[in-house]
Structure 1
Amino acid sequence: MDKNTFTGLFLIMLIMVGSFFLLKPSADEVKKEQERAHLDSLKRAGIVAKTAKTDTTAAAAAKAGAVDSALLKTPFGAATVGTEQLITLENKDVKLKVSTIGGRIYSVELKEFKTFDGKPLILFDGADNHFGFKFTAGGKAINTDELHFTPTTPQANNGALTMRLSYSPTQYIDYIYTMGAEYKVNLQIKPVGLEAVINNGNTLNLNWSASLHQLEKAIKIERQYSTVYYHNTEGAVDYLSESKDETKDFGADVKKVDWVAFKQHFFSSVLSSKGGFAKSSLGVATDLASKDVKQMKADVVLSADASGAYPVEFYFGPNKFKTLQAQGNDFEKIINLGWGPLKYINRFAVLPVFNFLQQFGWNYGIIILVLTLLLKLVLSPLTYKSYLSMAKMRVLKPEMDEIKAKVGEDNPTLLQQEYLKLYRKAGVNPLGGCLPLLLQMPIVIAFFRFFPGLFELRGQSFLWMHDLSTYDTILNFPALPLLGWDHISAMCLLMTISTLIYTYFNNQISGATGQMKYIGYISPLIFFGVLNVYPAGLNYYYFLANMMTFLQQYLIRQMVDDKKIHSQIQENKKKPEDTKKKKSGFQARMEEMMRQQNQAPKKK
C-alpha cells in the first residue's frame, strides 16, 4: 500500500469515527424516540387511541399570543387552549391526581402499600392512560380526553372535586368526583344545557385505557396473572386471555356488562355502572419492549339516568378476598381460584381454613406449615392405602419376575394377561397405588393456583424469604438464553431436592425397575425450571408436603409388615375363585381384550 492510499484510508476512518460521535443522538433524543415507538405500538394494538398531542396548534398559538379566533368559535373550541394542572384528591387509603386535561384521573396511588422495591405504589399515571367521552356537537367530533377542564375550586374540598368543561357560561359538562369509603371513588358526569348541542341520544361513548406499572418483583408472573375481568348483569364473571393479546366485543343484543376490572396480580382498577353498559369492547395487550405490565382498554356505552346524569364508580385497591367481597357484586371473583373443581376446593375448603388460622396472628410461614399439616392428616387414609398397595406389588415382584422369565418379552400381551391372573389370585389391584394419588392431585394442583394469587403473602417474610409472594434468591447471574433465568430460588431448590429424594424412596417402596425407575426423576427437574420464578410460599408448601410425606411413609412402614402381606397374598391364592372379590369391569375388559389379542393370528 503506497503512502497516498494509506493517507486516504486514514482520513476516511477519521471522518467515519468523527461522524459517529458528532451525529450520535443525545440521551433525551433517544428517550423521546423510544417513547414515540412505544406509543405507536400501542396505537397499532388498539389500546391507546390515536389522538392529537395535548399541545395542539391552537394551544401553541395561544402561548405565542396569536390564537385563531375561528377555532375558538367552534364547539368547545376554547377548551383546546390551556395549561395542564394536577389537583390532588384523597382519603386515608387512596391518593388521586386529577388532570385539567380531560378532567381525568391522571394517577392513582394506594397509600397503604409499596412496590416490591419500596417505592410509592402507583397503579397508573402519565400520558399512556386515557379516560374520555366521544360525541358529536355542532357537527364536530368531540373527545373530552383532549380538552381542558377547569376546577370549580382551586383545590379539592372535603373529598369532592368538580371539573368543568365549558361550552358557554350556561352550558357545560361537569365531572363530579367524590371520595367514597376505603378504595371507592364516585364520578358523576353531568351535562348542563347541552341538549340542543350534543347529539348523543342520552348515551355517551366512554373510552378508558391504562398502561399498568410493574408493582411486583417478577414481572413475568405479574403479567401471567394480569388481564381484563368483566361481570354481566346476570352475575357471570369472565376474563380475557392472561397469556396473549385479546379483544372482545359485547353488542346491545347480549347481557350487559356492569363492571370492568383492569386486574393486576395483587391490585385492580374497576369501573362499574349500576345500570350496566349498553355496549362494550374490551382489550388487553402486552408490549414486551415496555417496562409496564400490560395495556388494557374498555370502550363502553353509558346510558343517562332519570336526572340526565351518567354516574359511575371506581374501585382502586388490593385483590384481597375479604376486601373485594365487602364491595359486593361479585368483586371477589376477580381473584382466579382455578378452573373446574379446583375453584371449589380453594373457595370452600382451603380459603376458610386459611382465614381461620389467620385469627391466631401467626407468621404466614407458620400458617402454611399448619395448613399443610391439616391437609396431610385429612389425606392420610389415601396415603396409607396407596402405600399398602405399592407394598403388595413389591412383595409380588419375585413372582412377576418368574412369569416374565417363563413367558418371555416377545409376547407382551400374554405377559400382561399372566400378570392380571396373578393379581386376581393374589387379590391385588395393580392400580391401587395410583388411584389414591390421583384423588389427591386436584388438591395439590388447587394450591398451585391458591398461593400465587394470595394477597396476604405479599411482603410477608419467613426465615430467609423476605417476601413469600415472590421468589427468593440464593444466587443471581445474567439472564440465561432461552430459559431467561437470572437467579436460583433457594426454596425451589430445596423443594426439588426433596422431590428427588421422595422419588428415590418411592421407587424403593414400589419396587420400580427399568425405565419406570428413572422417569420419576425427570419431572422434578422440569418443575424446577417452571417454579424457579414462582412465589417462595408455593415452593415452601411443596417442600413441606414432601417432608410430611416422608414422615407419613416412615410411620406407615412401621405398621406394615411385608412378611404378613406375603402370607396374606398366599392365603388369597389358595382360596377358591368364587370366594374371591369379584373383579372390576375394567379388569374384566382388560383380560378379555388381552385374550383376544393373544388368540389373533400373527401376521407373517
Structure 2
Amino acid sequence: MQKNNGLDKNQLISFVIFSAILMAFMFYFQNKQSDEKQVADAKAKTEQKVASKTIANNINATVNAAAIKNVTVKNKELTLEFASLGGQLSSVEINQYKAYNAKTDKHDLPLYLIEKNNSSYGFQFKDKTGKTFNTKDLVFVPSVKDNTVTMTAQVSGATIQYVYQLLDNYTLDFNVKTQGLSSTVTDEKADFHWNYTVRGMEKGRSQEQTHSEFNYAFDNYGSTDYDTNGFEEPEETLNWLAVKQQFFASIIESTNGFTHAKGTQETIEKGEFLKKFNFDGQVKLAGNELNQNFKWYFLPLDLPLLKTFEGKEFDSILPLGWSFIGTLNRIFFVPVYNWLSDWGIAAGWVIFLMTIATKLILSPVMFKQHKLSAMMKVVKPEIEEVTEKFKGQENAMKRQQATMEIYRKAGINQMAGCLPALVQIPIFYALFRFFPNMIDLRGKGFWFANDLTAYDDLIKLPFHIPLIGEHISIFAVACTIVVLIYTIMTSGQMQQPQQEGMPDMRIIMYIFPITFFFFLNTSSSGLSWYYFVSNALNILIILAIKYWILDEKKIHAQIQQNKSKAPKPEGKFQKRMREMMEKAQEQQKMQEEQRKKMNKK
C-alpha cells in the first residue's frame, strides 16, 4: 500500500488553479451583492480582512461603486440624503428657500448647502501599528425607519455605527457608536475632519464671500468668536463650529466638545464655489470606544429662529455688529423692520418709513447741528477778516486764537457740531451690518432692484471696470448725487485752511461722496436706498430751517449783542485748547531759533 505523502505536483497545480478560479468567482459575485448580504454572508470575512488592511494603510482607491447606496429622509424644513461611502451627508436642501439664478436674476433654484461632493467629514483613528484609518473611507450599510437613518460599517473586527435622526427646527441628531474598537486602537482620542467648499447662493459674489466665515462657541457656550481667515484654539474646547454664509449656516455641535481645534480658509476666485473651509478637532474616547452624541444644524440666519435655540448662542452667528452696534440692530432696527413689515408694506417702503423714524428720533440733535451751521454762516465774514489780518504760518497761532475768540463772543460751541456726527457713526455701521444680513429682505425687490440685499444692476456694462465691475447701480448713483448736494449746502460755512500747506477741507468733503459711490455700487441696494432717503430728508430739513425756522438776521443781531456783552469766562475745554496752542507756539519758536542757529553754523 502506497504511503500518501500529500498532494503531488499535478494535484498542487490543479488545486492552485481551482482555488484561483474559485476566489475570482467569489469576488465577482460578492461585488454584485447588496451591502446587507455582504454583512450576513460568512464568505465576506475574507474581504473584510483585505479591506481592513487597505484601510489601515489609509487607501481607498478601489471602492466598488455598486456598493455605494444613497438614502433620503425629509420633513417640512430639510431634505437630506446620506451616502453609504463614509456614512455621511451627501445632500442637504433647505426646502423653504431658493438659491439665486443668474439667468433669471431671481431666487428660483433649489437651495443646497451640501451637494456634488462639496462636503466630506469623518473620524480618523490610529491603530496599534501606528497606521490611521478614517470613517469617510468606509462603506456603511444603511437602514431607514421613519426619519431615522442607521449606518453600520465593519473594520478590523470592530463595528462603527452612525445613527441620524431628522428632528424639527432644522436639526439632525447624529449619534456615533462603536463596539470592538478598543481591540484595534490604542489612542485615547479620535480626530474629526470636515472639509467643506461652500457654493454661491446669492447675487454679488464679493459680498457673499466677505460674509462667509467660521463661527464657533467655547467656554461652555459662554463665549463666541468668528474668523475670516483661519483660527487655532489649542487650549479651548469648542462646543460647536459653524461655517456661515451670507444667510445660511451649517453647524456641527459636540456634546463633549472639540479640542485642539484648527480651521483654515481659502478663497476661490471664480466658478460656482466661493471658499474652501477645513476644520480639524479632536474628540475623546472612553475606554478606546467612541460613543458620543453630535448634532448638525442647517439654519437660515433668521434672528427669531436663532433665538429659539436657548443656551446655544446661535444668534451670535448673525453678524449684526459687536457691542453697541449689535444691540442697536437687535433692539431697534430689526424690531422696527419686522413691525412695519407686518403691515404688508413693500420692503422698499418699509426702509423709507424706517428712515423717517430714525430722523424723528435724531431730530433734536440734528436741529442743533443745522442751527450751528446757520450761525457759522453768519460769522463767516468775520472769520475771513481774521484770516486776512493774520496771514502766514508765523501768525497761525494768533489766527487760531482770534478765530476762537469770535466763536466765544458769538456763543458758538464748535464741539456741538461733533455730537451729531458721533451719533450717526454707529447708526451708519449698524445699517451697514443690517441690510446685507437681514434675511427678510433677501429676494425682496423694489423698483429696479430685484434684491434689496444685493446691488441693482439695471445698467449693465459690456466690460469690466476696476473698482466698479460690470454694472452701475442706480441707487448708488442717486445716493451719491444727494450726498454731494448735501455736502455743497453744508460746506459753505467751512473755513479755508489757516496754515500754509494744509488742504482745503471743502475739496476733501466734495471728493468723499464720489469715493462713496465705489463702495455703494457693489453693496446692498437697500443701504443705498436708505442713505438716499436720509440725505434727501437732510436737504429738506436744511431748507426748512433756513426759510421757515431760523431767522439769519435775528441770529446775526444776537451775535452782535453777545459781542457787546462782557465775554464769558473760559470753559475748561477752551482753556485747555488755549494752553495747548500757547505751548505749541512756544515749541515752534524754539524750533525756529534752533534752525537759525544751525544756519549760522
**TM-score by structure 2 length?**
0.82
Deviations 1:15-57 (A, max 9, x none): xxxxxxxxxxxxxxxxxxxxxxxxxxxxxxxxxxxxxxxxxxx
Alignment correspondent of 1:16: none
One-letter amino acid of the structure 1 residue matched with residue 181 of structure 2: L
Report if the CA contact (8 A) 1:227-1:239 is conserved: yes
One-letter amino acid of the structure 2 residue matched with residue 271 of structure 1: I
Q: C-alpha distance in 2, partners of 1:249/1:378?
A: 44
Q: Compared with structure 1, are the counterparts of its residues 180 and 69 closer, same or farther at alpha carbon in structure 2 (3 Å cutoff)?
A: closer
What SS class does the counterpart of residue 186 from structure 1 fall into? strand
What SS class does the counterpart of residue 164 from structure 1 fall into? strand
Aligned pair 1:119/2:109, yes or no? yes
Q: C-alpha distance in 1, partners of 2:233/2:362?
A: 45
One-letter amino acid of the structure 2 residue matched with residue 164 of structure 1: T
Q: Compared with structure 1, are the counterparts of its residues 400 and 86 closer, same or farther at alpha carbon in structure 2 (3 Å cutoff)?
A: same
Report if the CA contact (8 A) 1:409-1:415 is conserved: no
Count of residue pairs the alignment pairs up? 530
- Counterpart of 2:52 (choices 76, 88, 93) is 76
- Counterpart of 1:571 (choices 561, 564, 569) is 561
Report if the CA contact (8 A) 1:382-1:437 is conserved: no
Report if the CA contact (8 A) 1:393-1:430 is conserved: no
Q: Compared with structure 1, are the counterparts of its residues 346 and 63 closer, same or farther at alpha carbon in structure 2 (3 Å cutoff)?
A: farther
Q: C-alpha distance in 2, partners of 1:519/1:308?
A: 64
Q: C-alpha distance in 2, partners of 1:91/1:563?
A: 72
One-letter amino acid of the structure 2 residue matched with residue 539 of structure 1: S
Report if the CA contact (8 A) 1:162-1:176 is conserved: yes
Aligned pair 1:230/2:216, yes or no? yes
- Counterpart of 1:157 (choices 145, 148, 172) is 145
Cα distance, 1:357 vs structure 2: 2.5
Aligned pair 1:561/2:548, yes or no? no
Aligned pair 1:391/2:374, yes or no? yes
Alignment correspondent of 2:305: 323
What SS class does the counterpart of residue 379 from structure 1 fall into? helix
Alignment correspondent of 2:388: 405
Larger mean Cα displacement after TM superposition, 514-523 or 449-458: 514-523
Alignment correspondent of 2:165: 178
Report if the CA contact (8 A) 2:256-2:292 is conserved: no
Deviations 1:532-586 (A, max 9, x none): 0111111111111111212222222211111111111111111113xx2x43333
Cα distance, 1:346 vs structure 2: 1.7
Cα distance, 1:295 vs structure 2: 1.0
Alignment correspondent of 1:167: 155
Alignment correspondent of 1:416: 400
Q: Mind listing any 5+ residue stretches in structure 1 that lack a counterpart?
A: 1-58
Cα distance, 1:498 vs structure 2: 1.1
What is the 5 A alignment of 1:158-557? 158-167=146-155, 171-201=158-188, 203-232=189-218, 233-241=220-228, 245-246=229-230, 248-251=231-234, 254-303=235-284, 309-328=291-310, 329-410=312-393, 411-483=395-467, 485-508=469-492, 510=493, 515-557=504-546
Deviations 1:194-250 (A, max 9, x none): 33223343x432111110111011111000011010001141110112xxx32x222
Q: C-alpha distance in 1, partners of 2:572/2:175?
A: 66
Question: Structure 1 vs Structure 2: percent identity of aligned residues?
Answer: 32
Q: C-alpha distance in 2, partners of 1:63/1:432?
A: 87
What SS class does the counterpart of residue 455 from structure 2 fall into? coil
Cα distance, 1:92 vs structure 2: 1.2
Cα distance, 1:136 vs structure 2: 2.5
Q: C-alpha distance in 1, partners of 2:132/2:391?
A: 84
What SS class does the counterpart of residue 316 from structure 2 fall into? helix
One-letter amino acid of the structure 2 residue matched with residue 143 of structure 1: N
One-letter amino acid of the structure 2 residue matched with residue 527 of structure 1: F
Cα distance, 1:349 vs structure 2: 2.7
Q: Compared with structure 1, are the counterparts of its residues 66 and 367 closer, same or farther at alpha carbon in structure 2 (3 Å cutoff)?
A: closer
What SS class does the counterpart of residue 451 from structure 1 fall into? helix
Q: C-alpha distance in 1, partners of 2:351/2:511?
A: 27
One-letter amino acid of the structure 1 residue matched with residue 515 of structure 2: I
Cα distance, 1:283 vs structure 2: 2.0
Q: C-alpha distance in 1, partners of 2:456/2:270?
A: 25
Q: C-alpha distance in 2, partners of 1:565/1:281?
A: 65
What SS class does the counterpart of residue 459 from structure 1 fall into? coil
Report if the CA contact (8 A) 1:92-1:182 is conserved: no
Q: C-alpha distance in 2, partners of 1:92/1:305?
A: 37
Cα distance, 1:159 vs structure 2: 0.9
Q: Mind listing any 5+ residue stretches in structure 2 that lack a counterpart?
A: 1-23, 33-43, 102-107, 498-503, 597-601
Cα distance, 1:321 vs structure 2: 0.9
Cα distance, 1:115 vs structure 2: 1.0
Q: Compared with structure 1, are the counterparts of its residues 62 and 147 closer, same or farther at alpha carbon in structure 2 (3 Å cutoff)?
A: farther
Q: C-alpha distance in 2, partners of 1:534/1:66?
A: 55
Q: C-alpha distance in 2, partners of 1:519/1:587?
A: 27
Q: C-alpha distance in 2, partners of 1:66/1:490?
A: 62
Report if the CA contact (8 A) 1:257-1:276 is conserved: yes
Q: C-alpha distance in 1, partners of 2:407/2:583?
A: 19
Alignment correspondent of 1:103: 87
What is the 5 A alignment of 1:588-603? 588-598=575-585, 600=589, 602-603=592-593
Q: C-alpha distance in 2, partners of 1:405/1:257?
A: 66
Alignment correspondent of 1:18: none
Cα distance, 1:525 vs structure 2: 1.1
Report if the CA contact (8 A) 1:190-1:309 is conserved: yes
Q: Compared with structure 1, are the counterparts of its residues 205 and 426 closer, same or farther at alpha carbon in structure 2 (3 Å cutoff)?
A: same
Q: Compared with structure 1, are the counterparts of its residues 404 and 194 closer, same or farther at alpha carbon in structure 2 (3 Å cutoff)?
A: closer
Q: Compared with structure 1, are the counterparts of its residues 487 and 457 closer, same or farther at alpha carbon in structure 2 (3 Å cutoff)?
A: same
Q: Compared with structure 1, are the counterparts of its residues 75 and 594 closer, same or farther at alpha carbon in structure 2 (3 Å cutoff)?
A: same
Question: What is the CA RMSD across the aligned residues, in angstroms?
Answer: 2.7
Q: Compared with structure 1, are the counterparts of its residues 569 and 119 closer, same or farther at alpha carbon in structure 2 (3 Å cutoff)?
A: same
Q: Compared with structure 1, are the counterparts of its residues 78 and 400 closer, same or farther at alpha carbon in structure 2 (3 Å cutoff)?
A: closer
Q: Compared with structure 1, are the counterparts of its residues 506 and 305 closer, same or farther at alpha carbon in structure 2 (3 Å cutoff)?
A: farther
Cα distance, 1:513 vs structure 2: 5.5
One-letter amino acid of the structure 2 residue matched with residue 188 of structure 1: N
Cα distance, 1:356 vs structure 2: 2.8
One-letter amino acid of the structure 1 residue matched with residue 225 of structure 2: D
Q: C-alpha distance in 2, partners of 1:120/1:171?
A: 39
Q: C-alpha distance in 2, partners of 1:406/1:280?
A: 68
Report if the CA contact (8 A) 2:254-2:294 is conserved: yes
Q: Compared with structure 1, are the counterparts of its residues 278 and 526 closer, same or farther at alpha carbon in structure 2 (3 Å cutoff)?
A: same
Larger mean Cα displacement after TM superposition, 312-321 or 552-561: 552-561
Cα distance, 1:596 vs structure 2: 4.4
Q: Compared with structure 1, are the counterparts of its residues 305 and 489 closer, same or farther at alpha carbon in structure 2 (3 Å cutoff)?
A: farther
One-letter amino acid of the structure 1 residue matched with residue 243 of structure 2: F
Alignment correspondent of 2:13: none
Q: C-alpha distance in 2, partners of 1:141/1:597?
A: 70
Q: Compared with structure 1, are the counterparts of its residues 66 and 519 closer, same or farther at alpha carbon in structure 2 (3 Å cutoff)?
A: closer
Report if the CA contact (8 A) 1:240-1:283 is conserved: no
Report if the CA contact (8 A) 1:133-1:143 is conserved: yes
Q: C-alpha distance in 1, partners of 2:510/2:391?
A: 28
Deviations 1:120-169 (A, max 9, x none): 11112233421111113453421111121111x3xx3311111111237x
**TM-score by structure 1 length?**
0.82
Q: C-alpha distance in 2, partners of 1:63/1:96?
A: 32
Q: C-alpha distance in 1, partners of 2:150/2:562?
A: 86
What SS class does the counterpart of residue 222 from structure 1 fall into? helix
One-letter amino acid of the structure 1 residue matched with residue 69 of structure 2: Q
Q: Compared with structure 1, are the counterparts of its residues 593 and 94 closer, same or farther at alpha carbon in structure 2 (3 Å cutoff)?
A: same
Cα distance, 1:594 vs structure 2: 2.8
